[in-house]
Amino acid sequence: MSDPRLITLPPGGILLGLGADLIDIERIRGVWERQGDRFLDRVFTDEERAYCLGMKHPHKHLAARFAAKEAVAKAFTTGIGAELGWRSISVYHGERQEPLVRLDEKGAALLAGVGGTRVLLTLSHTDTAAMAVAAIVKSV
């Protein structure tokens, strides 16, 4: 077991925005079954699709990323739309498998515009629901 004193957390900062989302996994599975690749291409980045579709239960991971996109959009107080698109937000994993957010140019401009320096994210899912909490922070 590793020494817990060696684990470091990302630097904190001033909280600028907070968003959360909870979604029924069957809702995502149903949309995916009805719309197929059209849904995947509209909402998820190539990186997210590759990760999720490689998992045993891809719909659970797709739902968690869908919730993450909603949570980030809520943290910005914009929702998904003209200012921030579905694919403006991409969820990937860090070296300890922690969820991280990558923003496209539109998302990065929005982050800079609100004075933020990073987006923190946590994800979780059960067999029936997926949730995400996102925080926009400004480093101090």
Domain ranges, ordered by start, for the chain: 13-138
Beta strands 89-93 and 14-24: pairing type? unpaired
Q: Are 72 and 19 in contact (CB under 8 A)?
A: yes
Determine the pLDDT at residue 13: 82
> Would the pLDDT of 11 be above 90?
no
The matching CATH number, chosen from 1.10.10.60, 3.40.50.300, 3.40.50.720, 3.90.470.20, for 13-138 is: 3.90.470.20
> Would the pLDDT of 4 be above 80?
no
User: Out of 9-13, 25-29, 52-56, which region has the weakest mean confidence (pLDDT)?
Assistant: 9-13
Write the pLDDT tens digit of every residue in 22-43: 999 999 999 999 999 999 999 9
SS (H, E, C) the chain: CCCHHHCCCCCCCEEEEEEEEEEEHHHHHHHHHHHCHHHHHHHCCHHHHHHHHCCCCHHHHHHHHHHHHHHHHHHHCCCCCCCCCHHHEEEEECCCCCEEEEECHHHHHHHHHCCCCEEEEEEEECCCEEEEEEEEEECC
Buried b (16+ CB within 10 A) or exposed e, 38-48: ebbeebbbeeb
Write the pLDDT tens digit of every residue in 78-119: 999 989 999 999 999 998 899 999 999 999 999 999 999 999
pTM for the model stands at 0.91
How far is the C-alpha of 44 from the C-alpha of 96, rounded, in Å? 22
